[in-house]
Structure formats: C-alpha cells, structure tokens
Structure 1
Amino acid sequence: MTKMSADDRRSSSETRRKPAAIADGGVENRIERATDSASVDDLEYDVVTTPVLVVGAGAAGARVAISLAESGVDPLVIGKRDHGDAHTTWAAGGINAALASLDEDDDWTIHAADTLNEGHHLNDPDAVELTAREMPDRIRELAEWGMPFDRTDDGAINQRYFGAQSYRRTCFVGDRTGEAMLETLIDRARALEVPYRENVMITRLLSDGRRVFGAAGFDMESGRGLLFRSNHVVLAAGGFSALYDRHSSRDDENNGDAQALALEVGARLLDLEFVQFHPTGMVGERYGEEWDGRLVTEAVRGEGGRLYNADDERFMERYSPDQMELDARDVVARAIGREIEAGRGTDNGGVYLDITHRDDDYVRARLPRMVERFASLGVDITAEPIEVAPTAHYTMGGVDVDFRTGETGVDGLYAVGEAVAGVHGANRLGGNSLAETVAIGKLVGEHVADAVGESDADPPVTDAQRALAEREFGALESLAAADGDVAPTTLLADLGELLWTHAGILRDESGLRAGLAELEALRDRTGDLRVEGGLTSRSFEYAVDLSFSLTVAEAMLRAALKRTESRGAHHRTDYPETDADWRVNLLVSADEGGLAIDRRRVAEPSDPVREALEEGYELDYHHLE
C-alpha cells in the first residue's frame, strides 16, 4: 500500500485549518493595500500587484526575498503551507562550505571538484563554482543572523563528514539543520518586513507568449481566486521526487509544480532523468505506513553508522572498500538494492543501519531528532539498528537557468533552488541542496532587484490579462465540480507505483516504454476524475497536483529513455557503462507536437578547479574508524 492511499491520516476532502496569523501587522497591511476584488460571470477573485512575486517560501524563496528587500525592492512571497512550514525543514544533516574548521587543507576549489565528481561531470561548472565560492560567506552570514551552528571546543563552526566529500565540510545544527536554517531566514525576512501570503497555490503562470506578467491561483483556505500581477516572477517551488510511491517528501510537496508551470510558458527543463534515491529511507512494519520512505539523515552515516545485510555482513566492503558507507549516494543505494535482490535483505525489503558502536551520549548529542523519532516508534538507536531501504529523495533535474541571474529564457520568469537543474549534474553531493538555496538565492535576488524599474511597483492589469486569469478560475471551478468515479489520490498512487517500477533505481528500455504506455492510460483515466469537498479540500489540491505530476513524469520518462548510458543516479541495465559521448545535458521543451528533447554540451571548469580535480582528492572513510 502506498502512502498516498493512507487517507485515514487526513481525508482528501477535508478543508484546511485557518492559517497562522501574520506576525507583523504592517506587513499584512501592505498586502491588503495592494489587493483589489473583481468578478465576472459570478466568478469572484482578488487582484494583487507586486514588483516581484516569489512562488515558494522555503530557503531558496526566502533568500531571494531577503536580497530583494535589502536592495530596496518590496517582493511578495507566497507558499502552499503556513509560513515556516516548508520542505527545507526536512533537510536534516547539514550544509556544505569549505570553512576548513577541522581540515585546514580544504578550500572552495576542492568543494567544487567534489561536486563535479559526484555529478559525474554533467554539472554546470559555473553554477558549481559560484556555489562553492559563495558558501563560506553565506555560512558566516547565517551565523551572524543567529543560526545556532554546532561549535568546536575552540568556538569554530563544527563540520562533519558527508558522503563522497574529501574533507569534513558539512556544517550542522545537530540533525535539524534545515529547520534551523529556515527559522533563521524567516526571522531575517521578518526583520526586513518582507510581505508573504500563506496557503496559496499557483496553478498557472500568466503569459502572452513572449513574457510572463504574473500568476493565477487560489487561496487554499477560502477557495477564492487570486490574480497576481507582477513583471517579475521567481519560481522557488521545489522538485518532483514525491511523484514516486516511496519518497522522503510529504505527499503534497515536490509534485513538479515549478517544472510544469515553467514548461507551459516556454521555459526548458534540464536533466530530468536524474532522480536521486537516498540510500536510507525508513522501511519496516514496526514503523507503520506513515513513515515508509521517510529519510534517515545521512548524518547517521556521517557520524559513523554502518550498513549490514540480514546475514550480518557489512556489505559495503564488497562495493566500496575505501569509502564504505560514505561513498556517493547512488553507489550506496544501488549496493543496498543489489543486496535485497540477492536475497540478503530483511523480511521488509531493507537492510540495517547501525550506530550502536558509538558512545550513547555522542549519538544523542549529534543525532537528537533521529533518537527522538525512533524512540517514539519503540526503537532505541543507541542500542539497536534501524531498518532502511532506498527512497526517492531529490531531483537533480529542473528548469534550465542562467545561475548568475536565475533567468529562464522567458522574459520576466526566474527560477532557483530545487526547482532548477545544473549545480548537481547526474547526482547531488550530500549537503549541497541547502548550500545552493542560499548561495544562488542571494545572487538571483540581487539580479532581479537590479531588473526592477519604477513602473514595476504597481503594474496595471489589462483586459487581456484579466481574461486569461478568469479562464483559469473557470477551469478550476470545473475541476472542483468533477463527479466521476476515480479519486485523485488513486491516480497519484498509481503514478507513484508506475515510476518506482519503470523509472526507479534500475531502468531499461522495455520498462521505460512500458511506463510511457501506462502513463498514457493513466492520463485517459483523468477524464473520470472525482473531486470531493470543493476548492478548499485536499481532494481538489491533489487533483491540481495530478496535472503537474503527469506532465513532469512524461518528460522524465522520455529523457530517461533517450539517455542510453548509465551515469550517476541514472542506471540503465541495458546500457550499464558510462559513455563519454553522452557527456551532454538533455533539454526538454514543449511544442505543438508534444515534448521535444535536444542535447547540449557541458562546459569545462575553470583552471583552479581543474587543478583540484587533477589532484584526485578523496575521502578516506577509515578516518572514522
């Protein structure tokens, strides 16, 4: 049974709770002054004008907004959940920066080299180098803003090992780093009086075919339509790993919103075939269905956790004797998959992650959230192992952008964070997701601020723009009234199973083609959709998610079919070797005939990073022994 079908946890037709009150009344008032009401043919909606609309309230969106505010631009940030409740909080283990707190030889060029190696050299070298160079200053900035990093005895920001890193480079706050970082960014945004709106879902970007001039969506608490008029829209709405039935996201996040929205208005998508399967997701009947696939942070292995199969063999000795459990995520995930396929897995289809050899107090100090979570499920991780199996965790693919600006190639549209592709290549280095959000988010915010002119402060709303938004509101009301026989959750669950079966850790041509055929049949079933509870229900939200998810799933399957090699997180059993001729990025665009796929050669890194690559730096796991 998939997580999506567990509707006893929350009914798909249940209406949402009232959002938390906006903390700063002045911020709330500024939003209200920018809002007008309108109606046509009994459709009532609000019109909100803003110089910059930031879609997504996680770390990337928050950092963009901070840069805008610091530059004197007054953006509006919108999110699908209560403010502060974003997927960033689930990034537990840490954030990378070459501070050299513990290993004095580390520097940004080695960080960049590790990132390129982990990405199997499909990364955008410029994006990688921007991130690596920026991160020491971004960490110091976060510390100045109050982020409570763990410290060494002499007061330096502490750093831990993470997989495939040459040095201890991952800064952390126990095992709640993402949560602590988002709290810090939100506090900073509030101090700058950045306006925001909670519980808002964007369903369409408004475009005249040449540029984007805003977005349409609805208030998820009231069901009222919303027309956001802005000449600058920044997508920071995450990735698409929740399309899979085993994943580390919440079911209502990372559904491909950003990618589908961008594709529809003419932006291109990049590297969609690369989905990272984290080696250690929770699995096992004792944890319950609600926890299936939830992430067990890499920090457990970073602090010395060991993997054993059901025969009590520390099996990573066979697959990676030098880096062991801290090899690249794709390597460890495939190793676990092979152990399970060979019959050496647990009865629940997993393996064991064991940190009981470390001192109990050390484990409780470094991994407090893991200790607390498993204790609530009757497991003491200081005394017994955790049962784990791979889970869909992160999507390296996304919107194609210029990382210095966030520009998508569509005038007025920018993107940042997990919504985009380029930094991570074919596989993401652990600890780099949070790093990208603040390093690139700052630069994108500064660029957009420079692009904002006086006329952008309160842009007019034309009749054509209103008409386009009103058509969208009408379509949403029709969807909410759908009275067929198939629930959105059923189709999303079937999509998740389809992708896990045909586009999971191991892929081949026959499976990918079967996946595309099943996807087309699933799309046909949307004509019999049933939505319960109206515009404010979970059922309606999932119906909207479904439209995004089907689009992105098709693009991912077609890109995976096109790439006839194995590289990083994309492993084709019918093409098991890495092919030098395939050191290219695949670009997906929409045209009248459907989806088109083109190739683009990968650029080369700078001389300093090339020198670091030639030095061949590599983590020595046995430092932990």
Structure 2
Amino acid sequence: MAHFETYYHDVLVIGSGGAGLRAAIEASALGVSVGVVCRSLLGKAHTVMAEGGVAAALANVDDRDSWKVHFADTMRGGQYLNNWRMAELHAKESPDRVRELEAWGALFDRTTDGRLLQRNFGGHKYPRLAHVGDRTGLEMIRTLQDYGIHQGMEIYQEYTIISLLKEGGRIAGAFGYDREKGLFRIFEARAVIIATGGMGRIYKISSNSWDCTGSGIALAYNAGAELIDMEFVQFHPTGMVWPPSVRGLLITEGVRGEGGVLRNNNGRRFMFDDIPELYRGQTSTDEEEGWRYTQGDKNAKRPPELLTRDHVARCIRREIKEGRGSPHGGVFLDIAWIKEKLPNASEHIKKKLPSMYHQFKELAGVDITKEPMEVGPTTHYIMGGIRVDADTQMTSIPGLFAAGECAAGLHGANRLGGNSLSDLLVFGKRAGEYAAQYAKENSRIKVSDGQLLEITNWALTPFERGLSSGGMNPFQLQSALQELMQDLVGIARTGKELEEALVRIAGLQQQAMKAGCDGNRAYNPGWHTALELTHMLTVAEAIAKAALERRESRGGHFREDFPNKSDEFGRVNITISKDGTGAMRLTTLPKQKIRDDLQQIIDEMK
C-alpha cells in the first residue's frame, strides 16, 4: 500500500466557488467540522467570472416584482421541465440570501435612495438582478471567502479529487492528490457536498475556466448517483470572437440589459425577425420602446435582445450561417449607439460595464464606447447534472449532496441569466444545512484498504504506460473530444451527428485507457489530464446519449431533425444511471404534478 495522509471531517465540500463556500459557511455555523477542497487557489473559482448579477425579487426598481413572478419566469424559461419545488424555494429564498450577502459585506450598486439597484436581464419580466457593475461574481466570492475563513473551516488548496469513497452503500469520503507534490490524500467524512461547477471545457469554444470539466458530475455518476437533464446545454449568445486567443470569453448579458443591441453585417437589428409565441405581447417590436424598457419605463416592453439565451443564440447562429455575420464569424453587439440617447454615454458605459470596457480595450483593441463588439455563441452552462432532492440537495446516495451548476433541477430546459448566482446561494445554504444534519446523525465509516489500493493502481497507470513507451498523448485526446463535441453535439444537433459522436466518444474512451505521461507526480499536467479525461468523456457520453434520446427541440436542446416541441417529451425528464455492467442506462421520468397553488400562479402569469 502507498502512504496516504488522511484528513477527517464531518462534512467535506468539493469545490470552493459560490455554492461550495456558501455550503461550507452554513455547515460550519451548525457546529460540525468542515473541509473545503479547492482544485486551484481559494478565490480562483469560476464564480468570479459571473458578471451580470444575482436574480432576486427584491422589487427595488419595479414594485410589481415578487417571488411569484420570479417563479413563473423561471418555469417558463425552463419550458416547464424544471423541478417546481426547487423553483419555488429559489424564488422565495433568493431575496434573503442576497440581503444576507450584503450584511456580510458585499458592496452592491445602489439606487439614488440607497437600496440595491437591479437591472434587466433576458427572460426576466422586471429588473431583478442585483449587481456590482459587471463584476458581481467576483464580489460574491470575495464576500463569501472573507466571511467564510473566519467560520473555522479547513481549506485545502490545489488538491484534485479523483474518486468518491463508499462503504455499505453510504458515502465515506473522497480520494485525491495534492498538485504540488502529487501525493495521494484521503478525506474521510460523514457527508460530502459536490460543488464543482460546470463542464464547458469539454467543448472547444467555451466561456468556462480551465477546471470546468464536469468532474463532479462524473464523480457522482461513477459512485452510483443519478444524473438528469444532461441534454440541456446552454450556449451563451455573446462570447468574444476576436482575437482567437480569447474566443469564447464571456460578454455579460448586462451589455444588452443596459441598452446594447445586436446587428448583422447590414446594420440591421435581426432579433425583431423572430419573437417566440411564448413571449409575444411582452416583447417590443419597436426600437424606441425597447430603449425605454432598459431605462426603467414600467409601461414599455422588453427589447428582443433580452429574450432567453437559447433563442438569442440560435438567432445569432442563423445570421452567421446565412452569410450576414461579422468579418470574424460572429455578429455585432452595439452599446455605443446609446450616445444618441445619453449625453454622457461614454462615462455611463464605463461605469456600468467596467470589465467589458477594459476586456475589449486590452484584448481586442476595441473601444466599446465608440464601436461595436464582435460576438458569437459560446458554451456556457449545463442545466443538467446530478439529480438531487429539492429540499435537502441529497443525491440518490446517502450522505452525498450536490449544489450549484453540477446539480440539476432548478433550471429545466434553459436557465435564465442571473438565476445561477441565486441558485448558488439558496441551494449552497441548503446543502450545507442538511449535510451538517446528516453528519450529526450518522457515524463515520472506515474505508477499506482494498478500495484505496484499487484507486491508487488506476491513478498510477499513466506513468506505467508513459508517452515514451507508446502511451497516447492525453492533450491530443482532450483536444479531439473538444472538437467533436463542438462539431456534433453543439448548438444545433441531428440524430445522425449524435450517433457519430457516440461512436467517436467510445473510441476516445478506449484510447484514454492507454493515455500516458512522463516525469514525476509533482505539478504534472500530463498526469492530471490523463486522469481528467475519464471524467470528461463520461460527461460527454451522457450529454450525447440524452440528446439523442430527446427527439424534440426545447430550451437549450435543439434538434434540426426534430425542430418542434413534443407533447410526449414535454412530460418527461431523462435520467441517467450506471447499470450492473457499468454502462449508461437512460430512463424517462414522468414530471411530478405541480402543486395546485403554484399551477395557479403560472396560469395567472400567462
């Protein structure tokens, strides 16, 4: 047996983004021992990249807003495939979580009378996003980090978890290594919370950080947890398209919320051409009315640029595909035009969108106060993930919880902008609360030596193969996966392409079993990538299989061979679990009947 350094905690949190930190804070407050594992350094989680704001029905800008409207918007945006109980809890509890964050030191933008300012965002009926310019995620992480480190939790920086540990059907901890020395580490815990974020890096063009590989989703699946809604991947409409080195880097929806418009190479606002039936009557067909809406006119209708992300992304793709795109393969996002309306437009843009101004100035040589940006769709978010209980966030494995982007249910077929940050707060808190409760009620389980030896042998095999001894190059395999996901399982899909994708994924899985690395275990990116490939391929297979199974178009899932919604698939969610042979088993799960009072809210809002 190799030497293992073992750590003991009541609750182990894997991930140090918004959901992980909020969970750790709550669990620590309830008096249990908490460990937080960071793949990178504390404060470097992908949550810092969230820009537009956190959605909560505070009704500071428009007093017609309420949790009921927020609930109805979230359900409509998710095409009613959402877990309605999660949508209810989220809408009701978001305001308290935002006020709590403010009490802990978050510095939000303010109205003239000192309340939290809220901005418009796609799919939200009223201005609902509390924000800090376009750096909201950064401020959220700063606040949670500064508050959390005083709660007694233990932080493990630059550690990577490669397997969960189970005994007797219960979670027992996690197995990983520290990246600095490459030494194996054991975490024994009564409860484990997965808060590892998304999977954008399995695609070639993504707004996600390097570590968003879907590892937490794969860890839970391999441990026996169920996945749900994996076919629903969100492609954010506006990522940078130039220069190539930053292709996919996010441009916040806040640009459109502040009055930015989308134009093709003819200078035409093409979003007026296609307004879904679902949003007719709520969406402006007049440029002047759309401008008034972004400036807070309660009687105006939203501009079509603020429709849901899946719809805007497909409209942009259509313009590019039909030859009306920008020189570098995107379309134009223009916020500079507001100088026609505001005498101090330049300063207004710099104040409201400081990160966007500096991002384009430094990386693309574009002054967004004077000229338009070139933008295009970028892989951004997965609505699917680990299936959890709505109230407790526990998975199908006793003692294993999940929160944030890696957990599924709240967003249904499509997430509304800003709902991700309130999701982190609401369900991060709930995961921490119920994980602490579970830890108090259950004893720690000793992990068997046989299980540890099996994981160790698997983790060390890339060194045995070695690149110099004929092992496959893990970076080339990763690149091949990203290419095929971008080309075959992207924003528009067909059955034939999905079948081809699954064949190629299976081939890559065979090759990944031969991936090798040289050198030693200290700071070895080749070793890390060889191990990570297994997780990425698992998530890729789940997405492609679920997408092939859902023979309709809905939300973030668009099938060119089935372009319409289906009544049959509108009544079910698709779950994925591991069968007795280790293969993926897909099951259609009938939607749970919505509670009568919540159905009444939806009907009234329609």
TM-score, normalization by structure 2: 0.91
> Which string of whole-angstrom CA distances, capped at 9 and with x for unpartnered residues, describes residues 41-75 of structure 1?
xx222111111111111110111111111111121
> Which string of whole-angstrom CA distances, capped at 9 and with x for unpartnered residues, describes residues 154-182 of structure 1?
00100000001100001100000001001
Could you say if the C-alpha distance between residues 577 and 367 of structure 1 is closer, same or farther in structure 2, counting changes exceeding 3 Å?
Answer: same
Match of 1:21 in 2: none
CA distance in 1 between counterparts of 2:209 and 2:442 reads 39
5 Å-filtered alignment, 1:359-398, equals 359-377=345-363, 378-398=365-385
Cα deviation for residue 303 of structure 1 reads 0.8
1:596 aligns with 2:579: no
Between 344-353 and 386-395, report the one with greater CA deviation. 344-353
What SS does the aligned partner of 1:44 have? coil
CA distance in 2 between counterparts of 1:385 and 1:605 reads 44
Match of 2:540 in 1: 553
Match of 1:118 in 2: 77
1:343 aligns with 2:323: yes
What SS does the aligned partner of 1:493 have? helix
Cα deviation for residue 147 of structure 1 reads 0.3
Contact 2:190 2:442 in 1 (8 A): no
CA distance in 2 between counterparts of 1:362 and 1:265 reads 51
Contact 1:533 1:539 in 2 (8 A): no
Structure 1 alignment gaps of length 5 or more: 1-39, 618-625
Query: Counterpart amino acid of 2:310?
Result: D
Could you say if the C-alpha distance between residues 165 and 206 of structure 1 is closer, same or farther in structure 2, counting changes exceeding 3 Å?
Answer: same
CA distance in 2 between counterparts of 1:555 and 1:503 reads 11
Q: Among 41, 60, 65, which residue is 1:101 paired with?
A: 60
Match of 1:434 in 2: 421
CA distance in 2 between counterparts of 1:137 and 1:455 reads 30
1:249 aligns with 2:208: yes
CA distance in 2 between counterparts of 1:512 and 1:148 reads 46
Match of 2:222 in 1: 264
What SS does the aligned partner of 1:614 have? helix
Contact 1:113 1:610 in 2 (8 A): no
1:310 aligns with 2:265: yes
Cα deviation for residue 268 of structure 1 reads 0.5
Query: Counterpart amino acid of 2:576?
Result: V
Could you say if the C-alpha distance between residues 209 and 350 of structure 1 is closer, same or farther in structure 2, counting changes exceeding 3 Å?
Answer: farther
Could you say if the C-alpha distance between residues 324 and 455 of structure 1 is closer, same or farther in structure 2, counting changes exceeding 3 Å?
Answer: closer
> Which string of whole-angstrom CA distances, capped at 9 and with x for unpartnered residues, describes residues 92-114 of structure 1?
11000000001001000110100
Match of 1:479 in 2: 462
1:586 aligns with 2:574: yes
Cα deviation for residue 533 of structure 1 reads 3.7
5 Å-filtered alignment, 1:129-278, equals 129-208=88-167, 210-251=169-210, 253-278=211-236
Q: CA RMSD in A?
A: 1.5
Cα deviation for residue 540 of structure 1 reads 1.5
Contact 1:403 1:444 in 2 (8 A): no
Contact 1:147 1:184 in 2 (8 A): yes
Match of 1:415 in 2: 402
Cα deviation for residue 208 of structure 1 reads 2.9
Cα deviation for residue 209 of structure 1 reads 5.3
> Which string of whole-angstrom CA distances, capped at 9 and with x for unpartnered residues, describes residues 356-380 of structure 1?
0231111101100111111112111
Cα deviation for residue 510 of structure 1 reads 0.5
Query: Counterpart amino acid of 1:376?
Result: E
Q: Write out the 4+ residue segments of structure 1 that deviate beyond 3 Å after TM superposition.
A: 459-462, 604-609
CA distance in 2 between counterparts of 1:438 and 1:254 reads 19
Q: Among 502, 519, 524, which residue is 1:537 paired with?
A: 524
Cα deviation for residue 454 of structure 1 reads 7.5
Query: Counterpart amino acid of 2:17?
Result: G
Match of 1:3 in 2: none
Contact 1:50 1:228 in 2 (8 A): yes
CA distance in 2 between counterparts of 1:608 and 1:110 reads 13
CA distance in 2 between counterparts of 1:329 and 1:582 reads 21
Could you say if the C-alpha distance between residues 91 and 532 of structure 1 is closer, same or farther in structure 2, counting changes exceeding 3 Å?
Answer: farther
Contact 2:260 2:335 in 1 (8 A): yes
Query: Counterpart amino acid of 1:244?
Result: Y
Cα deviation for residue 460 of structure 1 reads 6.3
Q: Among 298, 306, 314, which residue is 1:326 paired with?
A: 306
What SS does the aligned partner of 1:588 have? strand
Between 554-563 and 530-539, report the one with greater CA deviation. 530-539
Contact 1:268 1:589 in 2 (8 A): yes
Cα deviation for residue 544 of structure 1 reads 1.6
1:610 aligns with 2:596: no
Cα deviation for residue 607 of structure 1 reads 4.2
Contact 2:10 2:436 in 1 (8 A): no
Percent identity of the aligned residues? 40
Match of 2:497 in 1: 511
Cα deviation for residue 452 of structure 1 reads 2.1
What SS does the aligned partner of 1:510 have? helix
Contact 2:172 2:445 in 1 (8 A): no
Cα deviation for residue 153 of structure 1 reads 0.6
Cα deviation for residue 481 of structure 1 reads 4.0
Contact 1:481 1:534 in 2 (8 A): no
Cα deviation for residue 293 of structure 1 reads 0.7
Contact 1:109 1:608 in 2 (8 A): no
CA distance in 2 between counterparts of 1:297 and 1:47 reads 42
Match of 1:452 in 2: 439
CA distance in 2 between counterparts of 1:447 and 1:250 reads 29
Cα deviation for residue 468 of structure 1 reads 1.2
> Which string of whole-angstrom CA distances, capped at 9 and with x for unpartnered residues, describes residues 484-518 of structure 1?
35321211111111111111111111010011111
1:499 aligns with 2:482: no
Match of 1:36 in 2: none
Contact 2:385 2:406 in 1 (8 A): yes
Q: Among 507, 517, 521, which residue is 1:521 paired with?
A: 507
Between 606-615 and 179-188, report the one with greater CA deviation. 606-615
Cα deviation for residue 564 of structure 1 reads 0.6
Match of 2:48 in 1: 89
What SS does the aligned partner of 1:295 have? coil
CA distance in 1 between counterparts of 2:442 and 2:123 reads 48
CA distance in 2 between counterparts of 1:538 and 1:250 reads 16
TM-score, normalization by structure 1: 0.89
Cα deviation for residue 520 of structure 1 reads 1.6
For this pair of structures, how many residues does the alignment match? 568
Contact 1:108 1:132 in 2 (8 A): yes
Contact 2:159 2:179 in 1 (8 A): yes
> Which string of whole-angstrom CA distances, capped at 9 and with x for unpartnered residues, describes residues 261-298 of structure 1?
111121100000000000001102xx242x11111111
> Which string of whole-angstrom CA distances, capped at 9 and with x for unpartnered residues, describes residues 390-410 of structure 1?
000000000000021111111
Contact 1:53 1:233 in 2 (8 A): yes
Match of 1:468 in 2: 451
Contact 2:15 2:36 in 1 (8 A): yes
Match of 2:558 in 1: 571
Contact 2:69 2:605 in 1 (8 A): no
Match of 2:297 in 1: none
Query: Counterpart amino acid of 1:579?
Result: S
Query: Counterpart amino acid of 2:52?
Result: G
Between 607-616 and 558-567, report the one with greater CA deviation. 607-616
Match of 2:9 in 1: 50
CA distance in 1 between counterparts of 2:261 and 2:154 reads 46
Contact 2:330 2:374 in 1 (8 A): yes
Cα deviation for residue 554 of structure 1 reads 0.8
CA distance in 2 between counterparts of 1:211 and 1:588 reads 20
What SS does the aligned partner of 1:399 have? strand
Structure 2 alignment gaps of length 5 or more: 276-282, 285-302, 339-344
Query: Counterpart amino acid of 1:490?
Result: Q
Match of 2:341 in 1: none
Query: Counterpart amino acid of 2:381?
Result: Y
What SS does the aligned partner of 2:149 have? helix
